[in-house]
């Protein structure tokens, strides 16, 4: 008696946690951090010149907000089923999660009153746009199957 593909590959939760703990998601997070650091480094002097020293913490927080939003947005992609039918749904969920996260964290940071609002908004938006490139590449690689661990289902098909 042969077992169905789901039984051979393990439960959906084990496949998802392997995807989240896999090297693809870690590589994605590392790339997101490097991009945020590059955006922050490129924006340091202009922010210092235009906003003064009060704008630099807003620059850092804006970059951090975008990294956290990318990390949250990457989770549905990492946990998605390797079957092609689940990929559009995972991509839409990732997009919504990323947007809600960046809005919630950005508004929360602005509401504290401790950060300069304009630099925070500008650098959150710039960092978010830069992270979209990283997020898109991760989603395309996951859809192509290059960032997903091999399972019995993907080896057979």
What does the DSSP assignment read for 104-154?
HHHHHHHHTSSS-HHHHHHHHHHHHHHHHHHHHHHHHHHHHTTTS---HHH
| Domain assignment present for 69 | yes
| Domain assignment present for 157 | no
What pLDDT is stored for residue 1 in this prediction? 44
What pLDDT is stored for residue 88 in this prediction? 87
Spans of the chain, pLDDT less than 50: 1-17, 150, 152-157
Q: What range does the domain containing 103 cover?
A: 12-148
Q: 0.85 cut: is pTM over it?
A: no
What pLDDT is stored for residue 9 in this prediction? 43
**Do residues 15 and 9 touch, judged by C-beta distance below 8 A?**
yes
What pLDDT is stored for residue 55 in this prediction? 94
| Domain assignment present for 67 | yes
Token pair listed for 37: 């650091």
The count of domains in the chain is 1
What pLDDT is stored for residue 59 in this prediction? 96
Token pair listed for 13: 């939760």
| Domain assignment present for 101 | yes
Q: Output the CA torsion sign for 132, 133, 134, 139.
A: positive
Q: How far apart are CA 4 and CA 76, in angstroms?
A: 25
What pLDDT is stored for residue 2 in this prediction? 46
| Domain assignment present for 29 | yes
| Domain assignment present for 20 | yes
């Amino acid at each position: 008696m042969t077992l169905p593909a789901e039984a051979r590959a393990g439960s959906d939760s084990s496949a998802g946690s392997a995807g989240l703990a896999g090297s693809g998601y870690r590589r994605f997070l590392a790339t997101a951090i490097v991009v945020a650091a590059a955006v922050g480094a490129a924006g340091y002097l202009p922010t210092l010149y235009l906003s003064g020293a009060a704008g630099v913490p807003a620059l850092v927080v804006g970059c951090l907000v975008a990294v956290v939003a990318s990390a949250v947005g990457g989770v549905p992609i990492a946990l998605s089923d390797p079957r092609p039918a689940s990929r559009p749904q995972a991509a839409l969920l990732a997009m919504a999660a990323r947007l809600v996260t960046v809005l919630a964290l950005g508004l929360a940071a602005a509401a504290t009153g401790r950060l300069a609002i304009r630099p925070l908004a500008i650098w959150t938006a710039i960092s978010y746009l830069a992270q979209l490139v990283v997020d898109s590449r991760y989603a395309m690689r996951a859809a192509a199957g290059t960032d997903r661990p091999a399972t019995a289902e993907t080896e057979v098909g």
